Amino acid sequence: MLGKSVAAFVFLTAGVALAQAPVATVQYSCAEGKSLSAEYFDGPTRTAPDGRPIPGGRVILTLADGKKLTLPQTLSGSGIRYANEGETFVFWSKGDTAFVEEGARQTVTYKDCVGRKK
């Protein structure tokens, strides 16, 4: 029985070690009375097919309607960009500002967002 207890302890301890705290949490106030919260996480860099490095971070967004999304960091010319696989939801942030694009036409649904760290 002791063997199972030790194995369970090791398994649970490993799970705790894998839990990662965000490097920053930012509350954004946007135009039209909207708001969103972003929890930023670091991660290992990946390599794109063309050899460019892809940042390995991710963000967990909580939108004004309570919807939660986890998005991987993607290539960006300026600022930090996170997008779902089909790029139908894209979150951009630069400095203390951010915006969200949604849909095939990349309609800006959260604009003029200004953040403050929690």
Condensed to tens digits (0 to 9), the pLDDT of residues 23-41 reads: 999 999 999 999 999 999 9
pLDDT digits (tens, 9 = 90+) for 53-108: 888 999 999 999 999 999 999 988 788 999 999 999 999 999 999 999 999 999 99
State the CB neighbour count (10 A cutoff) for residue 58.
17
Measured between alpha carbons, how far is 37 from 20 in angstroms, rounded to an integer? 18
Q: Which residue has the tokens 């990946």?
A: 46
Measured between alpha carbons, how far is 115 from 16 in angstroms, rounded to an integer? 30
- The superfamily (CATH) of domain 21-117 is C-type lysozyme inhibitor (2.40.128.200)
More confident: 19 or 24: 24
Maximum separation of any 2 CA atoms in the chain, in Å: 60
pLDDT at 16 over 50: no
β partners of residue 93: 80, 98
